[in-house]
Amino acid sequence: MKRQIPLLLTFLAGAIPTIAFFVPQKHVGLVSTTLDSWLIIVAGFALLLGVVNVVQMNTNKIKRQASGWPYAIVLLAGLAIMGFFGVAGAFDKFGGIATRPDGSSTPFDWLYKYGFLPLQGTMFALLAFFMASASYRAFRARNTEATILLIAALLVMFGRIPFGEMVSKWFPLATEWIMGKPNMAAQRGIMIGAALGAASMALRVILGIERSYLGLGKGE
Partner 1 sequence: MPNRVHHAKFFSALPCPLLLLLRTKAVQSRGFPPGAFSARTPSPLILLCLFATLFFPFFSAQVEGQSSLSAGVAAVSGSQAAPEAVAAGGSAVGEESSAQGEMAQTAAIATQPAPPVVEGVTASDTRSDEGGSITVRWMEPENAKELGLKYQVLRTDKPDGEYTTVGEAGAGEQECVDRGLIDGQAYYYKVRSALGAGFADSEPTQAAFSKGNWFRFYRLNALVLLVVFSSAVLYYITRARKAKPIYIRKIAGLDAVDEAVGRATEMGKKMLYIPGIMSVDEIQTIASLAILGHVAKLSATYNADLEVPNKDPLTFAAARETVKEAYLEAGRPDLFREEMVNYVTYDQFAYTASVTGKMVRERPATNFLIGSFYAESLLLAETGQSIGAIQISGTAEVAQLPFFVVACDYTLIGEELYAASAYLSREPVLLGSIKGQDITKFLLIVALGLGVVLESIGIKFMTTAFRMR
Partner 2 sequence: MQIDRRIIYLFVAIGTILPIIFVIGLPVSITPPVQMAFDRIENQLQKGDIALVSFDYGPSSAPENAPMADAILRHCFSKGIKVVVIALYPLGGLSEAVNEVNKVVAEFPELKYGVDYVNLGYKDGAQAAMKKMAENIHEVFPTDVNGTPLDELPIMKNIRTYRDMKLVVSLATGIIGEWWANLVNAQFGIPVIVGPTAVSAPKYYAYLEAKQMAGLLGGLKGASEYERLVVNSYPKLAEVYATPGLYTATKGMDVQSIVHLIMIAFIVFGNIVYFTSKRKPRKAS
Please, which of residues 26-85 interact with partner 1 by CB under 8 A? 26, 29, 39, 42-43, 46-51, 53-54, 57, 60, 67-68, 71
Residue 11 is a binding residue for partner 1 (CB under 8 A):
no
In the set 83, 120, 154, 161, which binds partner 1 (CB under 8 A)? Answer: 120
Least distance between partner 1 and beta carbon 47 (Å): 5
Question: Is the Cβ–Cβ distance between 71 and 54 less than 8 Å?
Answer: no
Q: Identify what 77 binds: partner 1, partner 2, none; CB under 5 to 8 Å per kind.
A: none
d(CA 44, CA 55): 17
In the set 162, 215, 217, 219, which binds partner 2 (CB under 8 A)? Answer: 162
Cβ neighbors of 37 (< 8 A, separation 6 or more) are none
SS (H, E, C) 89-136: HHCCHHHCCCCCCCCCCCHHHHHHHHHHHHHHHHHHHHHHHHHHHHHH
Residue 37 is a binding residue for partner 2 (CB under 8 A):
yes
Binding part of the chain for partner 1, among 95-103, 104-112, 156-164, 169-177 by CB under 8 A, reads 169-177
Residue 145 is a binding residue for partner 1 (CB under 8 A):
yes
Amino acid at the residue 216: L
Q: Identify what 40 binds: partner 1, partner 2, none; CB under 5 to 8 Å per kind.
A: partner 2
Which among 148, 174, 147 is positioned nearest to 159, based on CA atoms?
174
d(CA 213, CA 190): 25
Is the CB of 14 or the CB of 96 nearer to partner 1? 14
